[in-house]
Structure 1
């Protein structure tokens, strides 16, 4: 099961143009590593999930490859290649190893993540 992380406030992470389309970056927000992805599939969208990959026990998801499986937008972990749904945090191959998600949005040309 994925877990949605509750939002108390929004933090500006960077300019949208600072993230190459269809890639991710890692941001340290209030002591938590957050993987932030800029997806451009005809329109720019952003997603944020926990950066920690429970399958490899490493903080690497921001370095994964962005793609899709059917209608799902996913990131493939760079270590064991498990796929994580960017909207839900679900690990497709092993749902027990899913990650938390954060709300993310674009406003004023910046990427904002809710904490």
Structure 2
């Protein structure tokens, strides 16, 4: 069995370079625009140093307010899971899978995200 290198994975699976590691702020979010199969999307990227994993990418669009604000939310945890609280109506979304803690019928999209050669890469 052959093991794929990081370069093979990035080339083969439509990974996009968004920023550098230095552009990230610990325990905070940034917003970025990516290209997906369905067209452009806005993604919220969160960097939690010392946590496994350290990088998360979820939808930037808040389904409750209709605004693109999730990257500006407050990071915390609910029942040991890292979450972001929407800055408008304060719903909590798990960073691992985008699930809304307060409403099980609402879930944000998530994307695969990695740090490669100090570049933050997301799969669109």
> Out of 46, 49, 64, which is 2:58 matched to?
49
Query: 1:55·1:97 contact (CA, 8 Å) conserved in 2?
Result: no
Is 2:39 aligned against 1:34?
no
Structure 1 residues without counterparts, runs of 5 or longer: 1-6
* Number of aligned positions between the proteins: 109
> 1-side partners of 2:51 and 2:89: how far apart?
29
Cα RMSD between the aligned structures?
1.7
Cα-to-partner distance string for 1:49-97 (whole Å, 9 max, x where unaligned):
0111111111110110111112211000000110000011000001212
Q: Comparing both chains, which one has the higher relative contact order based on Cα–Cα distances under 8 Å and sequence gaps of 6 or more?
A: 1
**Counterpart Cα distance in 2 of 1:24 and 1:42:** 15
Structure 2: unaligned runs, 5 residues or longer:
1-11
What TM-score, normalized to structure 2?
0.81
**Per-residue deviation, residues 32-51 of structure 1 (Å, max 9, x unmatched):** 10111111235771100011
TM-score w.r.t. structure 1 length?
0.87
- Which protein has the bigger strand share? 1
Query: What does 1:13-24 align with in structure 2 at a 5 Å threshold?
Result: 13-24=18-29
Q: Kindly report structure 1 stretches of 4+ aligned residues shifted beyond 3 Å.
A: 41-44
